Amino acid sequence: TQSTRPQRLLGAVQKNATRGHPRSVIQAIDHFCRNKEWAMNVGDEKGCILDSVVSEVSPATVLELGTYCGYSTVRIASRLPPHAKLITLEFNPEFAVIARQVIAWAGVEDKVQLVEGASGDWIPRMKEQFGVKTFDLVFLDHWKDRYLPDTKLMEECGLLRKGSILLADNVICPGTPDYLEYVRNSPRYESQYFKSHLEYTKVEDGLEKSVFLG
């Protein structure tokens, strides 16, 4: 039977990356997406911005919305301080199966909890289910029309504290206009745009970094 793109991406990781070396996993995926098949990973250009935010925040608790194949999961997890935890939500079981294997190949599985399910269902259960108080960093990279409702839900569930950082992918392409308008105009956020390009292309895109002011 035909393989899927995520399966072919995983194959490229297993063929070209070294087990336990997250950087080689990232390089293998970027090479595959540049030279074989484009895939919606945050990519190496925006990935460097993500890296610098993770290093700057040095978060103890991270939430990622939209795991896909686990590219940004590996990128974030490989830069977390010891004992830090990354919870990543993915509701497509087929993608979750691939992401678990990519995460394992990179050797970062003990920092990552991949939860299969929808953000809307799981955000309200973070405290009771995973003993999370608040998130120091949230990386939003799931369906673009979910960024705003999920941000409001995180506020309502008390998952954000003064200083929590939201980092959102694709605020230009595909675009998240309602989310951008909210974080840029709400007195509860201090927002900053990092101009970049849509992964593996010359099309403009960027990340929006928003600090929750409490």
Contact 57, 141 (CB under 8 A): no
Q: Which of 41, 44, 111, 170 is catalytic?
A: 170
Nearest to 105 by CA among 34, 41, 16, 45: 16
CA distance 207 to 15: 31
- In the set 30, 44, 90, 141, the catalytic residue is 141
Q: Active site includes 16?
A: no
Residue with smaller CB distance to Mg ion, 170 or 176: 170
The nearer residue to ligand 72M, 84 or 172, going by C-beta atoms, is 172
The C-alpha atoms of residue 48 and residue 57 are separated, in whole angstroms, by: 14
Residue 129 CB, nearest approach to ligand 72M (Å): 15
Single out the residue of 25, 79, 87, 95 in contact with ligand 72M (rule: CB under 6 A). Answer: 95
> Does 119 sit near ligand 72M (CB under 6 A)?
yes
Nearer to ligand 72M, 121 or 181 (CB): 121
Any alpha helices (H) in the chain, and if so which ranges?
5-16, 22-35, 43-57, 71-77, 93-106, 119-122, 126-130, 147-156, 177-185
**How many other CB atoms are found less than 10 A from the CB of residue 80?**
21
**Interaction of residue 66 with ligand 72M, rule CB under 6 A:** yes
Residues that are catalytic: 141, 144, 169-170, 199
Enumerate binding residues for ligand 72M (CB under 6 A): 40, 66, 68, 89-92, 95, 118-120, 141-143, 146, 169-170, 173-174, 198-199
